[in-house]
Amino acid sequence: MLTIHKALITTFAALTLSATTIAADAPTGSLFANVLGLTAGSIWALTNTGGAPLAKSGDMILTTGPLTVGAYSLELTETLAEAANSPRVTTIPITVTVVSEDA
């Protein structure tokens, strides 16, 4: 019996965010950041928010409730069967600031 294995041709790079700070007075449902560097065909999950009320929506991260000032670590997990380093977990530090800059 001949077995053919599909070559692992993709290696994930670390994901990044379009922003790493947000004001504590941002309304629920606000865009926090876009996820950058996603590999075509992969799926990703926000696997840890460090307690910050954030959630995945498409390739974006949105607020889901009142924010508390402080530093947090987000974990984003990207998965693709053909990737040599799948799943890849990227940890990104973020900060919730006191007030918005345009207030």
* 89 burial via Cβ count (<10 Å: 0-12, 13-18, 19+): middle
Q: Which tens digits make up the pLDDT trace of 46-89?
A: 999 989 999 999 999 999 999 999 999 999 999 998 888 899 99
Query: 86: domain CATH number?
Result: 2.60.40.60
| Nearest by Cα to 49 from 71, 66, 72 | 72
Which position has the higher pLDDT, 2 or 26?
26
Residue 78 located in a structural domain: yes
In which domain, by residue range, is 42 found?
A: 16-95
Collect all residues with Cβ–Cβ distance below 8 Å to 56 and sequence separation of at least 6. Answer: 44, 45, 46
Residue 10 located in a structural domain: no
Instruction: Please give the tally of structural domains in the chain.
Output: 1
Q: Is the peptide bond before 87 cis (omega within 30 degrees of 0)?
A: yes
Residue 64 located in a structural domain: yes
